Structure 1
Amino acid sequence: MAGHAGSAVKVSVFVGTSLDGFIARVDGALDFLPPGGGEPHGYEEFMATVDALVIGRKTYETVLAFDAWPYGAKPVCVLSTHLLAPAPAGAAIERMSGPPVEIVSRLAGRGIRHVYVDGGITIQGFLRAGLVQRLVITRVPVLIGSGIPLFGAVPHDIALRHVATRTYASGLVQSEYEVVTQPDPGR
């Protein structure tokens, strides 16, 4: 959004969760998600608008185990203070570390305008920093009981404006929100 956080970078989340709010099992497994992402639910269209991705190391390692690298040649910043496993052929991987506002500032300096943030800890950190403008959450009709939650503790309420909810034949329910109030960046 114009003027937000001193940059014109839009930060979005596009994520699948179990109905009980988990983005992965405790061990990081995603086996409860529909194979291949299930029926088309806007992911390809969303990805076409994305300039770069920011993901955590654990998400990166999970994605490395997929049959194919899902992000093509799009730049992917992996947040880690440790060395990363080798990137697959054709993948544009860069290791970064630092607070979310610094990451976004660095990407803005490169002309990046739309960032897709993924991974539980990464999403939570960017939300707490007040950097996320859009959330697209696709709920899969399954309860898994425990796992890595999509959301964590926040310093105060983060108000959202409902944009749309779509349902799909397979039972996927996708809701899109805009973030209305941002946390105080000084916290």
Structure 2
Amino acid sequence: MKENKPRIKLYIACSLDGFIAREDGSIDWLTKYENNPETDYGYSEFYGSIGTVLMGRKTYEQVLEFGDWPYGEKKAYVFTRQNEPLRREKNVEFVSGDVGEFARRLKENTEEDIWLVGGSQLIKVFLEENLVEDMIVFVVPIILGSGIPLFDRIGKEIKLRIINTERYESGLVRLEYIVRG
């Protein structure tokens, strides 16, 4: 059994000007970095370290548009305020209610780290509730000019300690932080 408590980790890419998607939710500007023959940007190692993925409804619907469900056997929780049924993938559970309470309970009842996939509104709630412990942010060498911000008016200061940086030939920069409580 793992001695360390599981951690909630934000692992995400954004444009240099801080957007995770275009206004319409499109992430077409990221596709040139997928399936890179030289590197997977540490994704395989990260993915192997987590047992659960968390995402908002809009992010879930965006992921479904990509084709095959990419999270395989991982347990996935989709936060939604809507009652209408969504297409349900294997190991996906829809959650409504108090996000913070749910996340704290989940953390107590799991042994592996938890990936906060997105989107922006869910990230905001997790940061407001002091639930994000680690951030791995990939800065993509593009300025979108507008879109869905990574950090949308969180309303408080959050201090970070950088623990690693990595620059890739593609121009991506990986920034790894621990959130200081």
TM-score of Structure 1 vs Structure 2, range by shorter chain: 0.7 to 0.9
Give the match for residue 101 of structure 1.
100
Q: In 1, are the aligned partners of 2:75 and 2:91 still within 8 Å (CA)?
A: yes
Structure 1 residue runs of 5 or longer lacking an equivalent are: 1-7, 182-187
Give the match for residue 152 of structure 1.
152
Amino acid at match of 1:117: L
Q: In 1, are the aligned partners of 2:7 and 2:107 still within 8 Å (CA)?
A: no
Q: In 1, are the aligned partners of 2:25 and 2:62 still within 8 Å (CA)?
A: yes
Q: Secondary structure of the equivalent of 1:51?
A: strand
Distance 1:140 1:46 in 2: 19
**Which TM-score applies when normalising by structure 1?**
0.85
1:22 to 19, 41, 54: 19
Give the match for residue 170 of structure 2.
170
Distance 2:85 2:29 in 1: 26
Amino acid at match of 2:87: P
Distance 1:109 1:131 in 2: 12
Q: In 1, are the aligned partners of 2:22 and 2:146 still within 8 Å (CA)?
A: yes
Percent identity between matched residues is: 37
Distance 2:108 2:162 in 1: 31
Give the match for residue 54 of structure 1.
54
Amino acid at match of 1:11: I
Amino acid at match of 1:87: R
Amino acid at match of 2:24: D
Q: Give 1:156 deviation, angstroms.
A: 2.5
**Which TM-score applies when normalising by structure 2?**
0.88
Structure 2 residue runs of 5 or longer lacking an equivalent are: none
Distance 1:38 1:127 in 2: 30
1:13 aligns with 2:14: no
- CA deviation digits over 1:28-71, x for unaligned, max 9? 11101034635310112111111111100000000000032111
Q: Give 1:120 deviation, angstroms.
A: 1.1
* Superposition pairs of residues 133-144 of structure 1, within 5 angstroms: 133-144=133-144
Instruction: Decide whether aligned partners of structure 1 residues 172 and 125 sit closer, same or farther in structure 2, where only a CA change above 3 A counts.
Output: same
Q: In 2, are the aligned partners of 1:120 and 1:149 still within 8 Å (CA)?
A: yes
Q: Give 1:101 deviation, angstroms.
A: 2.1
RMSD: 1.8
Q: Give 1:110 deviation, angstroms.
A: 3.6
Instruction: Decide whether aligned partners of structure 1 residues 36 and 169 sit closer, same or farther in structure 2, where only a CA change above 3 A counts.
Output: closer
Give the match for residue 66 of structure 1.
66
Moved more, 99-108 or 55-64: 99-108
Corresponding pairs, count: 173
Q: In 2, are the aligned partners of 1:9 and 1:104 still within 8 Å (CA)?
A: no
Q: In 2, are the aligned partners of 1:165 and 1:173 still within 8 Å (CA)?
A: yes
Q: Give 1:143 deviation, angstroms.
A: 1.1
Q: Secondary structure of the equivalent of 1:102?
A: helix
Q: Give 1:109 deviation, angstroms.
A: 4.9
